[in-house]
C-alpha cells in the first residue's frame, strides 16, 4: 500500500514551452502533497506544499507563476513548469502525506530536460 506514481518519468522539451507533471496517490487519499526539486548530487529542496482544494503554499524563492501547482482531487496533484528554460532542468519529486502528519510517501520522480 501507499504507492505514489509520477508521470512522465522523464521528459525533454524545448525552451519556452510548458510541461505538466502528474503526481498520483494510487491506493490512498492524500489531502496534502509536496513537490521537491533535486539537483544532481544534491539534496531535495521543498518547492511547495499542495493541499486539496486550496492554493499551494510556495517556499521562499520559488516562483509561483513559473511552477503552477494544482491539487484538484485527493489523489492527484500536478506541477506545470511554464515557459521552461534550461535552468529548470532538474529532477522533480512529489510526495503524499498519509496516516498522520509525519509520514510522506514519495513518487519515483520526473527527470526534466529543457533544451
Partner 1 sequence: AQSVTQPDIHITVSEGASLELRCNYSYGATPYLFWYVQSPGQGLQLLLKYFSGDTLVQGIKGFEAEFKRSQSSFNLRKPSVHWSDAAEYFCAVRSSGDKLTFGTGTRLAVRP
**Which residues are at the interface with partner 1 (CB under 8 A)?**
4, 9, 32, 34, 41-46, 49, 57, 93, 95, 97, 101-109
User: Which of 14, 43 has the CB closer to partner 1?
Assistant: 43
Q: Which is nearer to partner 1, 71 or 97 (CB)?
A: 97
Q: In angstroms, give the least distance from the CB of 107 to partner 1.
A: 5
Alpha carbon distance 22, 6 (integer Å): 5
CB of 45 to partner 1, least distance (A): 8
CA distance 16 to 42: 26
Place of cell 482544494: 53
Spatial CB neighbours of 108, under 8 Å, sequence gap ≥ 6: 5, 6, 9, 93
Beta bridge partners of 10: 111
Q: Which is nearer to partner 1, 86 or 101 (CB)?
A: 101
Q: How far is the CB of 99 from partner 1 (least distance, A)?
A: 11
Nearest Cα to 47, choosing from 108, 93, 110, 4? 93
Contact (Cβ atoms closer than 8 angstroms) between residue 83 and residue 101: no
Provide, rounded to whole angstroms, the least separation between the CB of residue 65 and partner 1: 22
Q: 9 or 29, CB closer to partner 1?
A: 9
Amino acid at each position: 500500500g501507499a504507492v505514489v506514481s509520477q508521470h512522465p518519468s522523464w521528459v525533454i522539451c524545448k525552451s519556452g514551452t510548458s510541461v505538466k507533471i502528474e503526481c498520483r496517490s494510487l491506493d490512498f487519499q492524500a489531502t496534502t502533497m509536496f513537490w521537491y526539486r533535486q539537483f544532481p548530487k544534491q539534496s531535495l529542496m521543498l518547492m511547495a506544499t499542495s493541499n486539496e482544494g486550496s492554493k499551494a503554499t510556495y517556499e521562499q524563492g520559488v516562483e509561483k507563476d513559473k511552477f503552477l501547482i494544482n491539487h484538484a482531487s485527493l489523489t492527484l496533484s500536478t506541477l506545470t513548469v511554464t515557459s521552461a528554460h534550461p535552468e529548470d532542468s532538474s529532477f522533480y519529486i512529489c510526495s503524499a502525506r498519509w496516516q498522520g502528519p509525519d509520514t510522506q510517501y514519495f513518487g519515483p520522480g520526473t527527470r526534466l530536460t529543457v533544451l
